[in-house]
Amino acid sequence: MVITIDGIKCQAHKGEYILDIAKRNNIHIPTLCHSDALPGQGNCRLCIVEVIEKGRKKVVTSCIFPVTGEIEVVTNSEKIRGIRKTLIRLLSARAPKNEYIDKLRQEYNIPPETRFKTDDNENCILCGLCVRACEEMGIYAISTVNRGITKKVSTPFDEASDVCIGCGVCAYVCPTSAIKVLDEGGKRHLWNKTFELMKCVKCGEYITTREHFEYIRKKIAAEGTEIIEPLCDKCKKKTLGENMAQTYK
């Protein structure tokens, strides 16, 4: 199947999402709540595009819109740019001092917010990626809490979570660096919980939390793969290299 994005003919499979097709063809569509490792969520709405199907135009969310027919997509029409600008203005009013959001604001020539009440300490835009990633890890330690304008991301009752393993995947996927993983003195602080960090058995460098390591070890054991040793990335590579050298000697 062939679809047209901004006049460019693109090969597509049935059921593929517009955003993925555009990326493959080097057509830029801005996103915040998208990660290639996770299914699309359609929360930030920045990736909206216009789809023309059978002569009818409609606004759709490209990260979750599956292609089923030979459609024409416009990613940057005046209407789309207008909506996107308002969305970025809303995001900027929410997290005015956030580096990433501010960059986006400047890119779209939006003046700094003066009409609305703003909170300079806010960095989270509630895109939901952290929750999604935690779910995908199979941990379910954090979730969105409350509804509407009081919505936030947290652990149950804001207490230290029983199930959190301190892996930090939430912080890793966060597009605005709103989640901070604090590592100091052999301890990791995350979501109101303190974790003990494990050392690399070779060099003594801190690797990750004990809970995280145990979690991976169990998973790997369940798959029947060889038991791993707690090694840092550098030592892991080094060991691998040494093993390989040994083999070919």
Partner 1 sequence: MNRNVKRTVLICCGPGCLSNQGMDVYEEFKTKILISGLDVDLRSAVETENACVTDTLHPGIKTDLETMVSPAVKATGCQGLCEMGPLVRIEPDSIFYTKVKVSDVTEIIEKTLMENRVVERLLYKDPVQGRKVRAREEAEFYKSQLKVALRNVGEIDPESLDDYIERDGYRALKIVLSQKTSEDVLSEIEKSGLRGRGGAGFPTGRKWRQCARTGNYPKYVICNGDEGDPGAFMDRSIMEGDPHSVIEGMIIGAYAVGSHEGFMYIRDEYFLAIQNMTKALEQARREGFLGKNILGSGFDFDIQIVRGGGAFVCGESTALMASIEGKVGEPRAKYIRSVEKGLWGKPTVLNNVETWANVPVIINKGADWFCSIGTERSKGTKVFSLVGKVRNTGLIEVPMGVTLRRIIFDIGGGIAGGRKFKAVQTGGPSGGCIPESLLDLKVDFDTLDEAGSMMGSGGMIVMDDRTCMVDVARYYLNFLSEESCGKCVPCREGIRRMLEILNDICEGRGRQGDIELLAELGETVREASLCGLGKTAPNPVLTTIKYFKDEYLAHIEDKTCPAGVCKNLTTYYIDKTLCKSCGLCKKNCPSEAIEEKLEGYFINLLKCIKCGSCMNACRFGAVKILAGIMRKL
Q: Which residue has the tokens 């915040």?
A: 32
Instruction: Decide: 2 and 9 in contact? Cβ < 8 Å.
Output: yes
- Backbone φ, ψ for residue 46 (5° rounding): -65, -25
Q: How far is the CB of 43 from partner 1 (least distance, A)?
A: 5
Instruction: Decide: 180 and 187 in contact? Cβ < 8 Å.
Output: no
- Say how far apart CA 38 and CA 176 lie, in whole Å: 17
With CB under 8 A as the contact rule, the residue among 81, 151, 219, 234 that binds partner 1 is 151
Q: How far is the CB of 158 from partner 1 (least distance, A)?
A: 17
With CB under 8 A as the contact rule, the residue among 6, 30, 45, 206 that binds partner 1 is 45
Q: Which residues inside 179-218 make contact with partner 1, applying CB under 8 A?
A: none
With CB under 8 A as the contact rule, the residue among 25, 76, 77, 144 that binds partner 1 is 144
Q: How far is the CB of 83 from partner 1 (least distance, A)?
A: 5
Report the 10 Å Cβ neighbour count for 67.
20
Kindly state whether residue 64 participates in binding partner 1, applying the rule CB under 8 A: yes
Q: Token digits for 94?
A: 């929410």
Q: How far is the CB of 23 from partner 1 (least distance, A)?
A: 19
Q: Which is nearer to partner 1, 4 or 143 (CB)?
A: 143
Kindly state whether residue 59 participates in binding partner 1, applying the rule CB under 8 A: yes
Q: Token digits for 197?
A: 């960090």
Q: Token digits for 65?
A: 């819109």
Q: Which residues inside 107-136 make contact with partner 1, applying CB under 8 A?
A: 115-117, 125-126, 128
Q: How many helices (H) and strands (E) does the chain have?
A: 7, 11
- Say how far apart CA 5 and CA 25 lie, in whole Å: 9
What is the binding site for partner 1 (CB under 8 A)? Answer: 42-46, 48, 59-61, 64-66, 79, 82-83, 86-87, 90-91, 93-94, 115-117, 125-126, 128, 143-144, 146-151
